[in-house]
Amino acid sequence: MTPFGEALRELRRQKGVSQQEMAVAIGVSAAYLSALEHGRRGRPSFDFLQRVCGYFNIIWDEAEELFRLAEGSDPKVTVDTAGLPPAYTALANLLARKIRHLEPDMVEELTKLLEKASNRG
């Protein structure tokens, strides 16, 4: 599951609607919603996000948060290290090999470290 998929499922739960009901209302298939929620589809389109926001009456900060979650929810990420020092490529490959085996606390720790580093630069 992706962060966006988790948020979408929670929105549906709060409103008490099924995937089928939501799919009909916003003009997509229930299979597509299921694939998004389970992380089997890439980042949703801007148009789709707009329809979701309209369906759930989401505005301003909540809509911005939903768009942010969608931006970070591509389940098949490509990391381009061309032109970077060898250590960067090694790190990207190590993470790709080990990510499925990381404990949740390690993921949280790495995320905080990377966010801290990105705020400095």
Task: State which residues form the domain around 105.
Answer: 86-120
Angle at 69 between CA 59 and CA 6, to 5 degrees: 100
CATH number of the structural domain spanning residue 39: 1.10.260.40
Burial of 23 (0-12, 13-18, 19+ CB in 10 A): middle
65 lies in the same domain as 20: yes
8 lies in the same domain as 63: yes
Q: Note the pLDDT tens digit of each residue in 90-112.
A: 999 999 999 999 999 999 999 99
54 lies in the same domain as 7: yes
- Distance separating alpha carbons of residues 78 and 17, to the nearest angstrom: 34
Q: Give CA separation, 33 vs 30, 68, 95, 118, in Å.
A: 5, 18, 29, 32
**Is 46 inside any structural domain?**
yes
Is the CB of residue 23 less than 8 Å from the CB of residue 32?
A: yes
**Is 94 inside any structural domain?**
yes
Q: Which helix (H) or strand (E) holds 111?
A: helix 104-120
Q: Note the pLDDT tens digit of each residue in 10-53.
A: 999 999 999 999 999 999 999 999 999 998 998 899 999 999 99
97 lies in the same domain as 67: no
Its pTM stands at 0.75
